[in-house]
Each structure stands twice: as C-alpha cells, then as structure tokens.
Amino acid sequence: MAQLDSLMRQNFIDYASYSILDRAIPDVRDGLKPVQRRILHTLFEMHDGRYHKVANTIGETMKLHPHGDASIGSALVVLANKDYFIDKQGNYGSVLTGHPAAAARYIECRLTPLALATIFNTDLTDFVDSYDGRSREPVFLPAKLPVALMLGTEGIAVGMATRILPHNLVELWQAQIACLREEPFALFPDFPQGGQMDASEYADGFGKVEIRAKIEAAGDKCIVIREVPYGTTSESLIASIEAAVQKGRVKVASIDDFTTDTIEIELKLPRGVTSDEVIPQLYAYTDCGLSVSSNMVLIRGDRPVQTTVSEVLVGHTAQLREQIRAEFELEQRRITDRKHWLTLEQLFVEKRVYKKIEKAKTEKAVKSAVASGMKEHAALFIRQMVDADIKRLLELRIRRISLFDIEQNRGEIEECDHRLAEIDKLLSDLTGTTIDYLEGLIERFGGEYPRRTQHTSFEVIEKKAVAQQTIKLMYDRESGFFGTAVKSGNREMRVSEFDLVLAITDDGVYRIMTPPEKLLLSGKLLYLEVFDPEVGLEFIVIYRDLQKNAFGKRVHVHKFIRNREYRLVKEKAGKVDLLLTKGEGGTLMLDYVRAPRQRIRSGKFDLAKLVPMGVSARGVRLAPKPVSKLRLVPKKAPRSKPKPGKGSGGKSSESSSGQGVGRQTSLF
C-alpha cells in the first residue's frame, strides 16, 4: 500500500504538471496554448501564399502534437473563428448560431498578413525537440501582440482553471502606447458576438462583467434581438427563451429565427403584454442577460500565476520593446557584416591583392598571401578579418573581379552606412521607436478590428420586480387546505415565485411562507396576503383567554424564518377575537360577564393606547373583569352599533361568547 501511495503521488504530480504547463494554460510570453502554437508554427513552415487543406495542416501539426487529430482540428477551427491569425476558406461553422465546421478535408486555411507581420521571427525563436525527437518546435513564438488578451481563452487543468476575456486589439495597442508614455489606461473586454456590456465590476480582470443581448422593440407587440451575449448562440438563446416561456416567466407568442451572418431573432407577443414589460423579463430570466467572471491564470517562468490585465499588458509592452531592440541589433549585425564584406571585396580588387596569389604553389601559401596582402589595409577594416573571410575572398570568380563595379560597391557601402545610422537613431530612442511601430500597426490593421461590444452601464433588473404572477393559490374553507394543488375553494390569489404569503388563523398561529403545494392550516383563516419582508406588517391583536379575560397588543411582524409557524397567542390560551392592520383602530366597547350584585356592566378601551410589543408577549389587559362581548367603534364613525360582518377588510366588529359570528373572520 505504501508503494502504491508513493507511485500515485508521483504520477499524479507529473500528470497535473503536464496538464497545466503543456495543455490547458497559455504561456504569458506569446499568449498561446501548446496546440495553438504548434498549429501556427506549422502554417508558417507551410506558408507559400496559397491556401492549404485543413486536413493537411492537421497532419503536419501531428508531427509536433502528441494528442491526435481531433484536438488539433477543433483548436484550429476555434483559432480561425477569432479572425486574427488564420485566413479561412470554406465552412468554419458560426460563432453566432453554433453550427459546426465542415469536415477538415473540405475547408482550407493560411496565415493572415497580421500573423505574418507580428508573430514569427525564426532568428529570435528558441527551438526544442518535438515529442518524438524527429522535428523541432518553438518554445514560444516571438509575438509582438498581447495575444492572451486579444484572443481570450478558457482552460481547465488539474486543480485550476483560467478564463481570460477577449479585448479589442486596437484598444490594446492604444493602451500599450499609453503605457510607454507612462500615461494611465483602462481596458475592458470586447466580444465577437457584440451585445452590450457593463464592466463596472471588471476589476482589471479580477472581477466580472454583465453582458446583455442587443434588443430592439419593433412596436408594442414585436421584439427583435440583434446581437447575443458572449458565450451564447442564437440556438442556445432561443432555447433559454422557450424554457422561460414554459415556466411562465416570460410571455411570448412565437419565436422566429432569421439569423444568417448577423443575428435576427423576432419575438411576437400575445395579447395583454407589451414589449416594455417583456424586455426586462428577457434580461432577467433568459440568456439575454448574463454575468461572466474573469479568472486570469497564465504560465510565467514554468509555473502558473494569477495576474491582471494591466500586469499582462505592461509585461508584454516591455517584451515588445526588447524584441524591437533585438530585431534592430540583429539587423545592425547583419548590415555590419555586409559592410565588412563589401569593404574586404573592395580592397581585395582595388588594391589588387588577388595578384599576390599567382606565385603561391600551395593552399597554405595562397591563404598566407591573401592574409598578408589584406593586412596592409587593416586600418580600413570594419572588424578584424578571420579565416572565413579569406576563404570567401578566394571563392570570388575571375569574372566577378574583372567586372567589379567600384561605384556600385561604394554605393552599397553608403547604403549600409545610412541604414546603420538610422538604426543607431532608432535604438537611441527605443521607446519612441516602439510607439511608432504600434501606431503603424494601428494605421495598417486598425480598420479591420472595430469595437463590437457597446460599453455602457446597466440598471439592475431585480427578478422579483419583473416576475409574472403566474402561480395560482386556492384556499378551501371547508377542508382548511391552502396551496397550488388545491383546485377549488373560497379564495383565489395569484403570486410570483418570489412572493411570500402571510397567513394568520384564529388560534393565533401565523406563517410566512413560499407558495405551498398543499398546506393544512391549523384554524379558521383570518388574514391572507402577500408579505413584504423589507417593510413587515403591523397588527393590533385582541383576544380573550379561557377565563374570558380580554387582552390587546400591537405587534410588528418583520423577523421570521420562512415556512415556520409562530404564535400571536400562546397555545391553549384562547383565540383571536379581533385582528386589525395598520391604519385601522378606534375604541373597543367591552361588555362584562354578568355576575351577582354587579354594578358596572361595560367598559371601553382606546386602541391608540396600545404600545408596540413583542409577538410572544401576552399583551395589555383591556378590562378588570371577564368580557362576554366586545365590539369596535371605528375612528370617526358614529357610536351606533355596527352591523355584524361590516368590519374593515372583512373583520368582524363584534364578538360574543355564545355565537360563532363573534370571532374575527377574514375576507372570506
């Protein structure tokens, strides 16, 4: 077991490291996953200006990629649909509709001018052996673009994942220019599907963005969706709308999809519904409104790191600056070498050094004659002459020497001097040179990459505010059942899935609940309405205990646990006689239980004297004696005896001990 544990630990670490470093997470230097890097390198090696069959490209890439053709083909299609590096021909599917690409044997591809201009430089690329040792592949490509930020990518490895949102290429270039000028900059995502975006919580790649479809109201009874959110397609969006319609959350009569190379989904609305009502519901309940989180994890220095958009851009800008320096220094060395050779060739011919080899009999003597002859003019050398230079001079043909054009040679040397002076000037102001390079890219390619996603701010749409009251609840007085499964009864109410319902019965039990399927209430229903937990509800409760002592209290219901029973009156302590909501009140007239030698037979109590107290409190005793009957004289009402059943909200204004009418009733 110990050996197995050790073996599993070692193998799992190897597998996890391979999955993270060589498959799922892109490298911060070129922003590419290994399979993407191998595809682009293969296309560069195959590049001849013409299209190549994707099947052939996949086969060539398999020389570098050990995971088969399926992963290469899917990665190539995804990369091509980004429209940056691969010029595609044929059916590559659609990111708008979700349709798949045609088979690899039917579609073709080649590198775009942008890729050829910014991604490759063999002289600045480090190569390693491929997985089988038969080929060489780049460690990373010397990309001059912030590829990870412009493409966006997702990857799931062992124990970690990355999600980088795509950004607009021109804005990335402009941000790099601002970075070089030490000016502030801010970057926000830009999605190929378009749509609208609220990036107020993007937090430089650590947060999230809210994205919405572009929806237009074509009148009161028609809605047209023009653009879809990132990560969705026209088909998935329609499926989410249909699901919301089936659940009663959105009312739509018909859906027509006219999408081609642009999104056009038409929604027809039924009677009694307008587009102003439905559009917020689409954002709240369908994929027309989504939240996308960003989690930027990249490989840096052979290990994964969590980073931000600004850090990646600043790092890549510094890398771009050094790459431009390296390219100019490489060109400088090449021009210097060319000037050195032109100078040697000029001296060799003009000074007739070649004449000195006529008397030499051996190869060694010939080389010695050239070396000694050229040494006389060493002061004119660009750099010290080496054996390779001597060998090259000896390879000059007689025709070349006899037809040597001195003026042309001097002109070429002057061109070298002019270009070397230019390079020295460019290197002396490397920051300005880098800015000029980026501005050149914007001028050359900027028109091809406009911003597609509109950056705006959204008003928060609360689902509760736009919810349809489609849930039907019934209460049956005879059986005492209440809920959606009760098919008939004395009271019907319609609520939404977010509403809470407050039910109070005459035994003092109340419950704040989500719409139940079928619930047996413990007593006769006194109150049943939708409850707002943010406001709560204030009641005046009048009840008599078993000895007919009358009590009253003013309570505020606001703290609760859903679907849990609470009591306004302690168990077996009596029943509620009167239940008044906020705003109701008056004077309570009390008739005492008759007793021998009783002189005072009635009393009254002003309900305004009741002070707020806890729900579980017993309350204030309203009379010094047991009460047989009580009645309410409403505020500003005549002091005549009200007729039974005329209380506000269906509440009884009179209660007696011997009749069922006297107890507080509800709206039923």
The whole-number pLDDT of residue 491 equals 86
The model's pLDDT over 483-542, given as tens digits with 9 standing for 90+, comes to: 989 988 888 888 888 889 999 998 889 999 999 999 998 888 889 999 988 888 898 999
Phi, psi of 626 (to 5 degrees): -60, 150
Burial of 457 (0-12, 13-18, 19+ CB in 10 A): exposed
- Domain containing residue 104: CATH number: 3.90.199.10
The model's pLDDT over 52-61, given as tens digits with 9 standing for 90+, comes to: 999 999 999 9
Kindly state whether residue 464 falls inside one of the protein's structural domains: no
Phi, psi of 511 (to 5 degrees): -145, 130
The whole-number pLDDT of residue 328 equals 96
Radius of gyration over every alpha carbon of the chain, rounded to an integer in angstroms: 43
Q: What single letter denotes the amino acid at residue 155?
A: G
Burial of 660 (0-12, 13-18, 19+ CB in 10 A): exposed
- Domain containing residue 395: CATH number: 1.10.268.10
The whole-number pLDDT of residue 248 equals 84
Do 656 and 561 have their domain in common? yes
User: Of 293, 328, 352, which residue constitutes the final position of a domain?
Assistant: 293
What does the alpha-carbon distance between residue 361 and residue 359 come to, in Å, rounded to a whole number? 6
**CA 145 to chain CA mean position, Å:** 23
Q: How confident is the model at residue 463 (pLDDT cuts 50, 70, 90)?
A: low
User: Of 262, 293, 324, which residue constitutes the final position of a domain?
Assistant: 293
pLDDT at residue 659 tops 50? no
User: Of 107, 142, 177, which residue constitutes the final position of a domain?
Assistant: 142
What does the alpha-carbon distance between residue 435 and residue 442 come to, in Å, rounded to a whole number? 11
Q: What mean pLDDT value characterizes the chain? A: 88
The whole-number pLDDT of residue 11 equals 84
The whole-number pLDDT of residue 494 equals 86
Do 537 and 654 have their domain in common? yes
Instruction: Specify whether the CB–CB gap between 52 and 46 falls below 8 A.
Output: yes
DSSP 612: B
Q: How many domains would you assign to the chain?
A: 4
pLDDT at residue 217 tops 60? yes
Question: Beta strands of 24-144 (E only): which ranges?
Answer: 52-53, 86-89, 108-111, 127-129, 136-138
What does the alpha-carbon distance between residue 349 and residue 359 come to, in Å, rounded to a whole number? 17
The model's pLDDT over 266-304, given as tens digits with 9 standing for 90+, comes to: 999 998 889 998 999 999 999 999 999 999 999 998 899
The whole-number pLDDT of residue 645 equals 38
Kindly state whether residue 544 falls inside one of the protein's structural domains: yes
The whole-number pLDDT of residue 652 equals 37
pLDDT at residue 643 tops 70? no
Q: How confident is the model at residue 407 (pLDDT cuts 50, 70, 90)?
A: confident
Do 520 and 649 have their domain in common? yes
Q: Tell me what the mean pLDDT of segment 621-627 comes to.
A: 89
What does the alpha-carbon distance between residue 413 and residue 340 come to, in Å, rounded to a whole number? 9
Do 380 and 418 have their domain in common? yes
Do 658 and 548 have their domain in common? yes
Q: Tokens in use for 568?
A: 């306004």
- Domain containing residue 273: CATH number: 3.30.1360.40
Q: Tell me what the mean pLDDT of segment 394-403 comes to.
A: 79
Q: How confident is the model at residue 636 (pLDDT cuts 50, 70, 90)?
A: low
Kindly state whether residue 163 falls inside one of the protein's structural domains: no
Contacts 24+ apart (CB under 8 A), 556-562: 556/612, 557/502, 557/510, 557/512, 557/531, 557/615, 558/533, 560/512, 560/533, 562/500, 562/512, 562/513, 562/514
Instruction: Specify whether the CB–CB gap between 268 and 254 falls below 8 A.
Output: yes
Kindly state whether residue 164 falls inside one of the protein's structural domains: no
Alpha helices by DSSP H, 429-504: 430-445, 463-466
Kindly state whether residue 450 falls inside one of the protein's structural domains: no
For 377, the domain range is 315-443
Q: How confident is the model at residue 12 (pLDDT cuts 50, 70, 90)?
A: confident
Do 226 and 332 have their domain in common? no
CA 466 → CA 139, 218, 230, 461, distances in Å? 54, 21, 24, 8
384: Cβ–Cβ under 8 A, 6 or more apart, which residues? 378
DSSP sequence for 362-408:
SHHHHHHHHHHHHHTTGGG-SS---HHHHHHHHT--HHHHHT--HHH
Q: What single letter denotes the amino acid at residue 377?
A: H
Q: How confident is the model at residue 654 (pLDDT cuts 50, 70, 90)?
A: very low
Do 547 and 639 have their domain in common? yes
Do 592 and 524 have their domain in common? yes
The model's pLDDT over 556-594, given as tens digits with 9 standing for 90+, comes to: 998 888 889 998 888 777 888 888 887 788 888 888 898
The whole-number pLDDT of residue 100 equals 94
Do 473 and 424 have their domain in common? no
**Catalytic residue (one of 15, 18, 106, 131):** 106
The model's pLDDT over 418-435, given as tens digits with 9 standing for 90+, comes to: 999 999 999 999 999 999
Q: Tell me what the mean pLDDT of segment 71-80 comes to.
A: 96
What does the alpha-carbon distance between residue 307 and residue 203 come to, in Å, rounded to a whole number? 12
The whole-number pLDDT of residue 650 equals 38
Give me the sheet containing 196-198, strands edge to edge: 289-293, 208-212, 196-198, 454-455
Q: How confident is the model at residue 1 (pLDDT cuts 50, 70, 90)?
A: low
DSSP sequence for 498-531:
T-EEEEEETTSEEEEES--SSEE-SS-EEEEEEE
Is 106 in the active site?
Answer: yes
The model's pLDDT over 325-375, given as tens digits with 9 standing for 90+, comes to: 999 999 999 999 999 989 988 888 888 888 888 777 788 888 888 888 888
What does the alpha-carbon distance between residue 169 and residue 310 come to, in Å, rounded to a whole number? 15
Q: Tell me what the mean pLDDT of segment 134-143 comes to.
A: 95
**Bridge partner residues of 98 (DSSP):** none
Do 473 and 539 have their domain in common? yes
The whole-number pLDDT of residue 647 equals 37
Do 261 and 379 have their domain in common? no
The whole-number pLDDT of residue 464 equals 67
Kindly state whether residue 160 falls inside one of the protein's structural domains: no
Kindly state whether residue 27 falls inside one of the protein's structural domains: no
* Percent of the chain clearing pLDDT 70 (strictly above): 94
Do 239 and 350 have their domain in common? no
Q: Tokens in use for 99?
A: 């349709």
* Percent of the chain clearing pLDDT 90 (strictly above): 53
Closest to 593 in 3D by CA, of 623, 633, 553, 632: 623
The whole-number pLDDT of residue 224 equals 96
What does the alpha-carbon distance between residue 95 and residue 99 come to, in Å, rounded to a whole number? 7
> What percent of the chain is helix, strand and coil (3-state, nearest 5)?
35, 25, 40
Q: Tell me what the mean pLDDT of segment 83-99 comes to.
A: 94
Kindly state whether residue 567 falls inside one of the protein's structural domains: yes
* Span between the terminal Cα atoms of the chain, in Å: 73
What does the alpha-carbon distance between residue 526 and residue 176 come to, in Å, rounded to a whole number? 70
45: Cβ–Cβ under 8 A, 6 or more apart, which residues? 60
Q: How confident is the model at residue 105 (pLDDT cuts 50, 70, 90)?
A: very high
